[in-house]
């Protein structure tokens, strides 16, 4: 039995849907910058109150303390220079990762030589319970937090929403197979006009690439230095016409071959993250709905860096309200990465993957 959902919309409708998606992106960006600034202030306050100032004073007591600070400062300034010089087109991730790896080795060697002194200083002054509690409070709205503590108050996190929990249950039951009459599957090649890319950064590269053989591929990079919020996102999808009489659209996006690397270096404060993103844009109103997920997230320590790497598939499940009257919609899925840094700090995030399937079901 054929689906009640049909592929495609009128030419005029495509333009309107793209315009609505662009307007929503501007609103989301403004909200994202505001949220990032508030979050950065909370992280910075938590580190200052429960760790940073006391740790610096503790280091000053040690004969090698100032020298270690200078060595770390020099390494992070070099990292900032690297991030600043990245072109506005898609960068060579392998080349950048290699250079960042060299900087990590430098910091690791400092840690090897002075780790005992640094760890003792950190243990004496870190108010761990209060600090971790403050970080949890800052992120509690994002979902259940999976947290891994790194050296010198660095943190690696992932946020798990209710839908993430349902994803695991659905996956354990096998591939999602909704009723064919009320469902539709978008697969490569996706609509050329439904490729959405956006970047907000003084230093960025963002691209969504799409061709007949491997359509749906996305590669993003965002880098931040000297304070501020930097973001890149890329989405692919298609235009659909929904019949009347339905009020809910359930969506599952399968993103395969995901490779996400986030690194935050700091003598100040920095974080970096990556995640998934799905969006439904109905023509009948301006109620564009976006749902974002978390792949990985790191908060830099006072010294050195925090890094997390994810390799594998990422599945996004979401549910959206849609107009009961039906109509034309734009459905997209993809990836996002962002960073923030303040003071002597730098953050960089890479994410790539292939949107292999977008399945929707209406009810």
Q: What is the mean pLDDT of the chain?
A: 84
Residue with tokens 């007591």: 61
**Where is pLDDT greater, at 59 or 239?**
239
Would you state the pLDDT for residue 32?
Answer: 86
Give pLDDT, residue 230.
85
Q: In angstroms, what CA-CA distances link 187 with 50, 52, 145, 181, 236?
A: 49, 49, 32, 18, 10
* pLDDT surpassing 60 at residue 357: yes
Domain boundaries, the chain: 6-362
Q: How many CA atoms lie within 13 A of 63 on its CB side?
A: 0
Mean pLDDT highest for which of 31-45, 276-290, 311-325?
311-325
pLDDT in tens, 195-226: 888 776 544 444 444 444 447 888 888 887 76
Q: For residue 262, give Cα distances in angstroms to 94, 170, 173, 216.
A: 14, 28, 32, 22
What is the predicted pLDDT for the residue at 204?
A: 40
Quote the pLDDT of residue 172. 64
Q: How far apart are CA 293 and CA 306, in angstroms?
A: 20
Residue 245: pLDDT above 90? Answer: yes
- What pLDDT score was predicted for residue 61? 86
Percent of residues, the chain, with pLDDT higher than 70: 87
Which residue's structure tokens are 């392998």? 94
Taking Cα atoms as reference points, which of 41, 112, 20 lies closest to residue 331?
20
pLDDT per residue over 77-98, tens digit each?
888 887 777 655 555 677 778 8
Q: Report which of residues 174 and 10 the model is more confident about.
A: 10
Per-residue DSSP letters for 273-301?
EEEEEEEEEESSSS--EEEE--SEEEE--
User: pLDDT tens digits, residue range 282-307?
Assistant: 987 656 689 999 999 999 887 788 99
| Element counts in the chain: helices (H) and strands (E) | 6, 15
Rounded CA gap, 353 and 89, in Å?
A: 18
């Amino acid at each position: 039995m054929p689906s009640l959902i049909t592929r495609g919309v009128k030419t005029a409708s495509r333009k309107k849907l793209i315009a609505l998606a662009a307007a929503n992106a501007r609103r989301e960006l403004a909200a994202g910058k505001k949220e990032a600034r508030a979050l950065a202030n909370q992280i910075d306050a938590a580190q200052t109150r429960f760790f940073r100032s006391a740790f610096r004073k503790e280091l000053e007591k040690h004969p090698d303390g100032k020298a270690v600070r200078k060595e770390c400062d020099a390494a992070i300034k070099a990292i900032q220079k690297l991030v600043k010089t990245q072109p506005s087109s898609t960068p060579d991730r392998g080349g950048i990762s290699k250079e960042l790896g060299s900087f990590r080795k430098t910091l690791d060697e400092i840690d090897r030589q002075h780790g005992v002194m640094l760890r003792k200083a950190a243990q004496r002054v870190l108010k761990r319970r209060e600090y971790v509690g403050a970080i949890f409070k800052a992120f509690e709205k994002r979902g259940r937090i999976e947290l891994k503590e790194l050296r010198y108050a660095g943190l690696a996190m992932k946020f798990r929403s209710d839908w993430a929990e349902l994803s695991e249950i659905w996956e354990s039951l096998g591939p999602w197979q909704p009723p064919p009459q009320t469902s539709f599957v978008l697969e490569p090649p996706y609509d050329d006009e439904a490729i959405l890319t956006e970047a907000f950064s003084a230093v960025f590269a963002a691209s969504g690439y799409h061709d007949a053989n491997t359509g749906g591929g996305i590669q993003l990079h965002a880098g931040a230095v000297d304070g501020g919020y930097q973001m890149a996102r890329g989405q692919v999808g298609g235009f659909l016409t929904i019949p009347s009489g339905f009020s809910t659209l359930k969506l599952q996006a399968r993103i395969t071959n995901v490779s996400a690397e986030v690194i935050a270096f700091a003598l100040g404060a920095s974080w970096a993250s990556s995640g998934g993103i799905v969006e439904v844009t109905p023509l009948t109103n301006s109620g564009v709905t976006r749902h974002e997920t978390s792949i990985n997230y790191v908060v830099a320590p006072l010294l050195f860096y925090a890094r997390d790497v994810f390799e594998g598939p990422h599945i996004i499940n979401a549910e959206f309200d849609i107009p009961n009257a039906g109509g034309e919609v734009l459905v997209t899925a993809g990836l996002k990465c962002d960073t923030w840094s303040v003071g002597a700090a730098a953050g960089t995030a890479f994410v790539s993957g292939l949107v292999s399937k977008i399945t929707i079901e209406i009810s």
